[in-house]
Structures are given as C-alpha cells and as structure tokens.
Structure 1
Amino acid sequence: MNPQAMQEAMTLMEKARKYDELIAFPERDYELRCSFCGKGQSELDKMVTAKNVCICNECIGVCVEIIAEDENEGVSTNE
C-alpha cells in the first residue's frame, strides 16, 4: 500500500475515533447499519454516520485499499 494513502487512512480513522469519543449519540430503539456492507454497529469497531448514511471502519479500509491501488497503477503507467 502506498505510504501516503496509508497515512491518509490513519488520519481519517483517528479523526473518526476522536469524533466518536466527543459526540454522545442519543439512545435509539434500533441499531445503525453500514450503508455499504449492511453490518450492524454491534458487529463493528467504529461507524461514521451522517444524516441517513453510515460507513463502517471495515468498508473505509476497503476504500483506502481501492484508492491506493488506483494511485499505484497511475504511478506505474506514468513511469
């Protein structure tokens, strides 16, 4: 994985962790689910939420890998 992409991913995860610690979510009578993989929040370590969309730490990791692959392909074709 590209070191820059890895650093960006780590920064994003750290921001999500800090955000998660700072915000107390109201009690809900239902479990939030990742909009991408469908896993419930009780099955996951972290979840980033906005209005009606949620993404889990696992899906964020997959996104980082995809972006890193695209960046690596772009570097190898430009050389």
Structure 2
Amino acid sequence: MDLETMNDSYECYEKDNFVQTCHCGALFKVIVSGQIGHEELEEYYCPECNQEYIIRASNTPFTKLITSRTDGK
C-alpha cells in the first residue's frame, strides 16, 4: 500500500446529511461523518426531547434544530 492510499483511508467524509422528524414533532438536521474502516454504531439525540437514535458513523453525528417540538410539552 502506498502512502497516498494510506492517507485516503484515514480521511473523514460526509456520509449522509438528512432531516430527521422526531416523535415529539421537532425537525432537526443530521450530518453523519464516515471514515473507511472506522465506522460503528453511534448515538445522536433529538435536540428538543433527547430521544435517542442510532446510525453507523465514524463519530457522533452533528444535529441542529430546525423547528421546535409540536407535542405541547
């Protein structure tokens, strides 16, 4: 394996980018990072009610609230 190939295998990349709807009604953006050979189950949480979600990623996904919860709590 040459040095360039080795360096490429350590690079992080944006694996996914989506809007999650939580059962509380909140909408939030989720950005998931990946790294070849370093992905495992990672938790992320609704920023309004702390509902846990799980996804395969190299680090804990970044979340950003778009709209607040609508369940009245």
- Range class of TM-score, shorter chain: under 0.3
Q: What TM-score do you get using the length of structure 2 for normalisation? A: 0.22
Structure (1/2) with the larger strand percentage: 2
